[in-house]
Amino acid sequence: MNTLNKINKYLPHIKRGILFYLNQGMEVEVDTDLKSILRIEVVTDDICGDVCAVRNKNVQYAFENMVHKGQVCVFAYVDGQIAGHAACVLPDNKEGAFVVKNSAYIHYCYVDSRYRGHNIYPLMLHQIIKICKSKKGIQRFTIMTSRENIPSQLGLKKVGFTFWKNYCYIEWWRFIWKKVMV
């Protein structure tokens, strides 16, 4: 790590993004051309290692931690190969800068570049929403994205999410100010 990167690591960073929300009954059905070979599964301890096929070992550890915390997590598989992942924090919990109170907070979404453009992201969101509604009785959902991530924003709109508000917080070392309430 060069000197500039070391210095930058210890400086405060301003994080900005956009929050979207989805209320009960607003989600839209989404289809894919991969329907016959796409499978979306709830993540359990025994399949956390599958994510290493498209991400690194740290992501496996993150999913093990999220599963242990009781988050609802899903993996998408195309023809048996992992294609993506998503997770959802349930109300009365925290995730980074986000204090989850009034909704479930969907985060940590990813689709491997080989499978983008097939509606896998909206389908994973749809599956998480379905699980949270049926098993947890949750009716309101939030999700964030960066301002420049237009494909993510388009995927959110496909499911029925709408713009809620912009957010901003400062991160310095492990200190986060001001927490974002969702």
Q: Is there a contact between 54 and 112 (Cβ–Cβ < 8 Å)?
A: yes
Burial of 125 (0-12, 13-18, 19+ CB in 10 A): buried
At residue 4, φ and ψ (nearest 5 deg) are -60, -40
**171 or 115, which is more confident:** 115
Q: Is there a contact between 86 and 128 (Cβ–Cβ < 8 Å)?
A: yes
**What per-residue confidence (pLDDT) applies to 6?**
65
Q: Which CATH class is domain 12-181?
A: alpha beta
pLDDT band, residue 113 (cuts 50/70/90): very high
pLDDT over threshold 90, residue 119:
yes
Q: What is the mean pLDDT of the chain?
A: 92
**What per-residue confidence (pLDDT) applies to 1?**
54
Tell me the pLDDT tens digit for each residue of 123-134: 999 999 999 999
pLDDT over threshold 80, residue 141:
yes
The domain ranges of the chain are 12-181
At residue 60, φ and ψ (nearest 5 deg) are -60, -45
**Any long-range contacts for 59-63 (C-beta under 8 Å, 24+ apart)?**
59/85, 62/108, 63/87
pLDDT over threshold 70, residue 43:
yes
Average pLDDT over residues 139-167: 94
pLDDT over threshold 80, residue 173:
no
**What per-residue confidence (pLDDT) applies to 84?**
98
- What percent of the chain clears pLDDT 70, i.e. is strictly above it? 95
Tell me the pLDDT tens digit for each residue of 1-24: 577 666 677 788 899 999 999 987
137: its two tokens: 């009785």
Nearest to 121 by CA among 111, 136, 108: 111
**What per-residue confidence (pLDDT) applies to 7?**
66
Element (H, E) at 15: strand 13-22
pLDDT band, residue 70 (cuts 50/70/90): very high
pLDDT band, residue 118 (cuts 50/70/90): very high
